Amino acid sequence: MSNKIIGIELTPLRVPFKELVKQTMDEGGGLGMAIPAEEEWSGGEFVICKLFCEDDTVGLGEAFVWLPETGISPDQIIDAIKKALYRYVLGESPFNVERMRFKMDINISKSDVAKGLLDMTCYDLMGKITNRPACDFMGGRCVEEIPLAALVPLADLETMLMLAKTFKKIGYNTIRYKLGNGTNEDILISEKIREVLGPDIRLRVDYNQAYTPPKAVEAINAIEKFRIDLAEQPVRADDYMGMAYVQKRVNIPLMAHEGFFTLQDLITLVELDAIGVLGINSERPGGVTNALKALNYAKQRGLGAVIHNQPLGIASAMHIHFAAANIYSLDHATELFGQAMMEDDLIVKRLDYSKGKAKVPDEPGWGVELDEEALEKYATGPTITIGKTP
């Protein structure tokens, strides 16, 4: 039987945050961060993708979106695939990711999250077809487990300190915490977090576009003494010159998040000397193939690199495989926090998270099985079928 792709299934869904997460985020104004957005964020919106081969192999993929950051909805991802992108996937071998991506890029502008969803699903297929873990197609497994970072949302100081201490007790050695309500508050939070965690825990901060460039310079320089590894997206997502303005005036390396979606975005940011750290995930810059290219480019240009996301189980497994295969190019602990935030991860057997680390699954592909009952429970629309499926 051929291993060509013959069918696609796409399901939009929404998974609410756990109640404790919602309560904690309410302390910070409802979003748990300083992003100037009015769009609700009480859960995650996703698209689950299945690719079917003629030999009955099924690959799994997942995209995580939120309008204020991603700029697209699950329905828009599905629409891009069913109206156009499917043409460059059906009939192809999942091993031909470079050809598929090239054809998608020359025929359909942008749509990087949708393209990346199809791309990452192919890597699960590669593993299942060959009975090998997906990391074998990203450089090979270098480690059996990866170090993780924990996330502390912007809330009242007591809550933030309690969470930071709890994560340290669990075994996390890196904490990312949210800032952006003003320099004085940023200093107070940073001082107290460093005080309760001690000198050995690594810290990084996320401003979620809270400041103007001059204000960002003031705020970042004010917390440098607390030994901060990186500062994420201090200015508006589309203000590349603003990022460059800030990076030239602070010693802490900047990382773009809301302002980074494509490989060209990365090149522009690097050429402007606007960032010192590459932050990648399954959506940015669009799947595994582009993430590998971005990481290679970043390391050649002397940037640090970090993986970060809050996905469900499928994409979490993808990030773990990616990190395990590229651990020597990653300068910071991987942040995967969907398992702590979402009320369900949509996989049958939970991934192994313990003592601030994640174990690499041993089974073929991503090494996870989709929970079909959970998929049906959280679906926000009908499953869209393209081509031939069972």
What percentage of the chain has pLDDT greater than the value 70?
98
Sign of CA dihedral 226, 227, 231, 234: positive
Which DSSP helix (H) or strand (E) runs through 234?
A: none
Residue 44 β-bridge partners: 15
Judge whether residue 191 has pLDDT over 80.
Answer: yes
Confidence band, pLDDT 50/70/90 cuts, at residue 27 = low
Helix, strand, coil percentages, rounded to 5, for the chain: 40, 20, 35
Confidence of residue 390 (pLDDT cuts 50, 70, 90): confident
Q: Tokens 């989709």, residue?
A: 370
Work out the pLDDT band at 1, boundaries 50, 70, 90: very low
The residue-averaged pLDDT of 53-72 equals 94
Stretch 322-337: mean pLDDT: 97
Is residue 333 predicted with pLDDT exceeding 60? yes
pLDDT for the residue 196: 98
pTM listed for this prediction: 0.96
DSSP of 188-219: HHHHHHHHHH-SSSEEEEE-TT-S-HHHHHHH
Identify the pLDDT of residue 28.
58
**Do the beta carbons of residue 8 and residue 386 sit within 8 Å?**
yes
Q: What is the pLDDT of residue 143?
A: 98
**Per-residue confidence (pLDDT) for residue 39, from 0 to 100:** 81
**Structure tokens belonging to residue 93:** 């071998």
Cα torsion 244, 245, 249, 254: sign? negative
For residue range 82-97, list pLDDT tens digits in order: 999 999 999 999 999 9
| Domains (range + CATH), the chain | 5-131+370-387 (3.30.390.10), 137-359 (3.20.20.120)
Euclidean distance between CA atoms 232 and 247, whole angstroms = 11
State the pLDDT at residue 26: 72
**Amino acid of residue 381:** G
- SS3 category, 4: coil
Collapse the DSSP code of 229 into the 3-class scheme (helix H, G, I; strand E, B; otherwise coil) and give the result.
strand
263-271 and 287-300 are packed helices; what angle lies between their axes, rounded to 10 degrees?
Answer: 20
User: What is the share, in percent, of the chain residues with pLDDT greater than 90?
Assistant: 92
Round to whole Å and give the CA distance between 273 and 246.
10
pLDDT in tens, 160-186: 999 999 999 999 999 999 999 999 999
What interhelical angle do 112-130 and 97-107 show, nearest 10? Answer: 160
pLDDT band at 2; cut points 50, 70, 90: low
Task: List the structure tokens of 79.
Answer: 């629409």
The secondary structure element, H or E, covering residue 385 is strand 384-387
In the predicted model, what is the mean pLDDT of the chain? 96
